[in-house]
A = this chain, B = another copy of it.
Amino acid sequence: MSTGRNEPAPARRTRQRSAVKDGLDRCEGFVSAQELHDRLRRDGQSVGLTTVYRALQALGEGGEVDSLVTDDGETVYRRCSPEHHHHLVCRSCGRTIEIAGPAVETWAHAVASENGFTDISHTLELFGQCGSCTSA
């Protein structure tokens, strides 16, 4: 309590946080906190599960990773570009493609305000079977 102000929070650079970030970069599609934790373990990197959860959540809030909740209620994460976008995910192998849908964005806002809604946000994900998985 040196200054009177509420300083936002420093955010330190630690081995664990880098490990999580790097580990996430090495993943193809979306991974859950637990999967990433296992992966780091196998790579020799030792990071506590609790820490992986915290790091992913922080990254998510900072907009550095995207997260989505799967049908069975698992939260999965992925390194993403900072601009607003959506995903096309393969149900079999998890391969993920980022997609932008300007048309959808304007449509969403139009529909919402037609109905008197403001402060709009939306979730949109596409699922399917990718080429490799179909031919295999």
A-side residues, CB < 8 A to B, are 69-71, 73, 75, 88, 90-91, 97, 99, 101, 103-104, 107-108, 111-112, 115-131, 134
Contact = CB atoms under 8 A, between A and B. Distances in A.
A128 to B, nearest CB: 4
Contacts of A120: 126-128
Contacts of A118: 128-129, 134
- Among all A-B residue pairs, the 4 with the closest Cβ atoms: A116-B131, A117-B128, A120-B128, A73-B73
A69 B70 CA distance: 8
A75 B70 CA distance: 11
Given A73-B75, A107-B101, A126 B119 contact: no
Nearest to A100: B111
A119 B115 contact: no
A63 B129 CA distance: 23
**By CB atoms of chain B within 10 A, which of A70, A108, A116, A124 has the most?**
A116
B126 A111 contact: yes
Contacts of A126: 108, 111-112, 117, 120-122
Given A73-B73, A124-B122, A117 B88 contact: yes
A84 to B, nearest CB: 14
5 contacts: A108-B126, A115-B130, A120-B127, A121-B127, A124-B124
